[in-house]
Amino acid sequence: MTRTYVITGAASGIGRATAQILRDRGDTVIGVDLQGVEVSGDLSTAAGRANAAAEATGLAGGTVDAVIACAGLSLPKVVTAAVNYFGVTEFLEAMRPALARSTAPRAAVVSSMASLQPVAPPLVEALLADDEAPALAIAAELAKDPQTGNLIYSSSKQALSRWVRREAPRADWAGAGIPSTPSAPASSRRP
């Protein structure tokens, strides 16, 4: 039985590798990235997220078996918070109706071990409030200094992991039969 997957960040890194494994297995993969895949979409903007989700849903014929959210950045810039948090959470919410039509839906979110590193608590809380403008304003302040700019990545990943833990058991996700889980890849390199 083949499945239909939507993978963000499918043009490079973990997303690209995951897409290739699934394609080699015979599954249908709809990649979402800035370019070079089935859906060109900018997950750093609300319009880009909505358009990408709508296009991916259309290409899937309205039913998606799994969304694997791999898109992410690690730059000490505001765009990192936009893509890593809102680019995942809003995209997943937009894909939820297509997932609900599957007989065995799944959502997987790539977080990071960096979520356990020092963070900027005001940014984490602003992200979890799901209000993009204030969150990105905090990220912009952090980005002014290289020391605090580096906290944007870990803060976005901690907020993302907490979002999954908050949302996964709710009626819209687990209650609708859509399991969701974060994963936190770590480097396999040894010192």
Residues that are catalytic: 153
- Rounded to whole angstroms, the Cα distance separating 124 from 138 reads 10
Question: Which residues make Cβ contacts (< 8 Å) with residue 66, sequence separation at least 6?
Answer: 3, 4, 5, 6, 99, 102, 105, 106, 107, 108
β partners of residue 81:
none
| 108-135 residues labelled b (16+ CB within 10 A) or e (exposed) | bbbbbebbeeebbeebbebbbeeebeeb
- Rounded to whole angstroms, the Cα distance separating 67 from 128 reads 21
- Rounded to whole angstroms, the Cα distance separating 149 from 77 reads 7
